[in-house]
Amino acid sequence: MAWLDAHAQFNPDTSPALVIGIAATMGDHDSGLHRHACGQLLFTRQGCMRITLAQQLCLLPPSRAAWIPPGIVHRAVMQQSVDYRSIYLKPELCAELPQQVCVIEVSPLLRAVLEPIAGADFDTDWQQGKFVHLLGLCLSEIRDATQQPMLLPLPRDKRLMPLLATPEKLPPELQVLERQIGASGRTISRIFQRETGMSYQQWRQQWRLMRAMELLATGRNLSYSAFELGFASDSAFIAFFKDMTGITPGAWLK
């Protein structure tokens, strides 16, 4: 296991080990765009992480894990203090795991095996003893885990690049966006439907939900979150959150 700080340089591809476990607590850290030959499971124990992919934005709140297959270019941004575990798996272990980036529920069993795997020495022999069973359980739980809708597809049209430059900023209303990029609402709607599978309004609402979870998970209170997301009142924010998830913000945090 390695405990990393924000300035540490680490490349899992330089190690011959089948499995590499990392433990870290970081604040306001940006990994920058990178890729590795290993598959990676990122588990947030406390705090919230935003992962940017080529055409998707992924939110990783507490108790969820992100599976990133080998070779995927990504960037992890952590706000405030984030306590996480990272498991790197050599490509030969990833054949039966999801081939696309996904956010999964962390079952009690997966949570139980992640800690000893993250805590194992780099020279651990994963082909004998208890480590064979720990690894087998981990792979099985990743493969069978329930996936969560924490991925937001991003449009590729160059006219919308200013919209994506500040992912923490509330996207404007459609009429405002029309003026900003010089395109009609009908054109914008066609772009979003073609490139994200959603209308602009649906996309904006999904963005608000993910940003709401990020704000709440990083300690912002309900009133602050409601204001940041453009809601007229706390009750309007609660109603939106419950309509999108089926539970209130308070219940989600618990």
Nearest to 40 by CA among 97, 122, 120: 97
Rounded distance between C-alpha atoms, residue 37 and residue 68, angstroms: 11
Average pLDDT for 147-172: 84
Q: Compare 91 and 162 and report the one with higher pLDDT.
A: 91
Rounded distance between C-alpha atoms, residue 184 and residue 96, angstroms: 45
As beta bridge partners, residue 88 has: 20, 40
Q: Which two tokens stand for residue 113?
A: 């095996």
Q: Compare 140 and 26 and report the one with higher pLDDT.
A: 140
Distance linking the first and last C-alpha atoms of the chain: 30
Residue 160, classed as helix, strand or coil, is: helix
Average pLDDT for 24-50: 82
Q: Which two tokens stand for residue 184?
A: 């009609």
- Give residue 24's pLDDT: 79
Place of tokens 């507490």: 62
**pLDDT surpasses 90 at 203:** yes
Q: Pick 2-148's CATH classification: 3.90.45.10, 3.40.1360.10, 3.40.228.10, 2.60.120.280.
A: 2.60.120.280
Binning pLDDT at 50, 70 and 90, where does residue 165 land?
Answer: confident
Q: What CATH number does the domain located at 154-253 have?
A: 1.10.10.60
Average pLDDT for 184-200: 92
Average pLDDT for 113-128: 90
Nearest to 66 by CA among 164, 142, 154, 12: 142
Cα 198 to Cα 32, 161, 186, 193, distances in angstroms: 28, 17, 13, 5
Q: Domain ranges in the chain?
A: 2-148, 154-253
Nearest to 101 by CA among 76, 138, 133: 76
pTM of the predicted model, to two decimals? 0.76
Q: Compare 176 and 6 and report the one with higher pLDDT.
A: 176
**pLDDT surpasses 80 at 126:** yes
- Give residue 80's pLDDT: 66
Cα 138 to Cα 19, 24, 93, 158, 184, distances in angstroms: 11, 20, 11, 41, 49
- Give residue 2's pLDDT: 46
